[in-house]
Amino acid sequence: MISEKMMLTELMAFSKTDLLNYPILATSDHVKHQLKNIYLAFSKKDLIKIDRYSWPNAMIALSLTYGLRHDQLESISVIKVYHDRWIEAGQKINTIDNLMNGMSLMYLFEKTGDEKYKVALHKMIAFVINCMKSFEGSIPYRQKNTESIYVDAIGILCPFLYRYALIFKDDSIRDLANNQIFCFIKNGIDELTGLPVHGYQADTKTKMGILGWGRGVGWYLCGLADSLEGVEKGSETYLFLSNELIKRLELVLKYQYSDGFFGWLLILDRGQCDISATSMILYAAAKAVALGLFEYHTLSVTFERGLTALQSAYRDGQMSSCSAECGGFSIYPQTYGSYPWGNAPTIAFLALLEDIKI
C-alpha cells in the first residue's frame, strides 16, 4: 500500500496540471458542446463557455495552499499562474462557484502584497454585495432562483467572506457570512438526527433534497472549519462556530464505516462509499484538531481508518470511488470515478495530518 507521503506527492503533481486544464472534455462531450454553440449562435443566443474557474478548480487551488509545506515554491507558482490567467481574461464571475477562488487568491495577496490581487478580491466582494439575496438575506446558489439555499454555499462562500472581513476589517461582510450560517442552522438542519439536508426554500422554510448527503455534510463541516480561520479567536462568532463544528463532528463521525469510508448517504447502513464525503469529513475533523477543538488522540482511530480507506482508493495520482457532480436538489448520479472534489480534499487532509501528528 502506498505511503501517505508518496500519495500526497503524486496527488499534488497531478492536481497542479489539473488546475490549469480542468475540465478536459472527452471527444464526444466536445462535439456536443460545439453543436450546442452552433445552435445558440444560429438562434442569436449567448454561447456556452467552459468555466475553468468554477468550484472544482477553486477547490484544487485551495488544496494546493494546504500542501505548500510539501513543495512551497512550485505550488505557489502554479496558483499564481492560475489566478493571473483569470485576471488577465477579465475575471468573469458567473455564480458564487467562482467565489471559492477567493481563499487561494487571498493567500496570494497576503504572501505577495500585489495590488492586482487586492483589486480582484474587491471585485469578488462587489458581486456578493450586489447579487440578489433570499427573503431572509441569504446568498442563493443561483441568481435565477433566489429562494433556494444550498448547503454547498457554506463551504464555497463563507470561509472567503470571513477571511476577507478579517483582513480588510469589514464587519458588514462578516455579518453576511454570519447570516448565511445562522439561517442554514435554523432552516437546513434536521432536528431529529442533527444532520444537514441539501438545502431549503428560504421563503417557505421547506427543507429540500435528502438528509445526510455525504458531500453536502462535507461542505457544511469544511465551511465551518475553514471559516474559523477568518474569525477573531475568542469572539462571540468564533465561540458559536467552534461549538457548532464540535457538535456536528461528534454526530457525523459516528457514521464512519469500519473500513474508514463514509457513504454517499450517511444514514444508510452500508451505502456506496464516496471519497469526496470521506476526504472532506476527515479534513474538517483534522482542521478541528489543528484549531485545538479536539485532542489528536481522541480522533486517532478515525484518522487511521480514514487514511487506510483513502490509500485503498488511490489510483495513479488520483482518487477513485468519488461520486459524480450533483445536478441539484435530489439529483445524485450514482456514477463514481476520479474528480477534483475527491483529489483536492484528500490533499488537504493528508497535508494537515502531517502537521497535527507532530
pLDDT (tens digit per residue) in 100-148: 999 999 999 999 999 999 999 999 999 999 999 999 999 999 999 999 9
d(CA 141, CA 150): 6
Map residue 314 onto helix, strand or coil: strand
Q: CA torsion, points 111, 116, 120, 121, in degrees to nearest 10?
A: 40
What confidence tens digit (pLDDT) does each residue in 28-48 have? Answer: 443 333 444 443 344 444 444
> pLDDT band at residue 358, thresholds of 50, 70 and 90?
low
For 335, half-sphere exposure in the C-beta direction (CA atoms, 13 angstrom radius) is 8
Write down the pLDDT at residue 302: 98
d(CA 346, CA 358): 19
DSSP-derived secondary structure letter, 14: H
Say what the pTM is: 0.93
Contacts of 262 (CB under 8 A, 6+ apart): 214, 255, 256, 273, 274, 277, 278, 281
Write down the pLDDT at residue 258: 95
What confidence tens digit (pLDDT) does each residue in 45-103 have? Answer: 444 468 899 999 999 999 999 887 666 667 789 999 999 999 999 999 999 999 999 99
Q: Is domain 4-357 classified as CATH 3.40.50.720?
A: no
Residue 217 has pLDDT above 90, yes or no: yes
What confidence tens digit (pLDDT) does each residue in 274-312 have? Answer: 999 999 999 999 999 999 999 999 999 999 999 999 999
Q: Which amino acid is at 309?
A: A
Give me 141's grid cell: 446558489
Element (H, E) at 23: none
Average pLDDT over residues 329-338: 92
d(CA 351, CA 343): 12
DSSP-derived secondary structure letter, 331: B
Q: Which amino acid is at 194?
A: G
Element (H, E) at 137: none
Give Cα 263 distance to the centre of its chain.
18
d(CA 185, CA 44): 44
Query: Could you tell me the residue ranges of all domains in the chain?
Result: 4-357
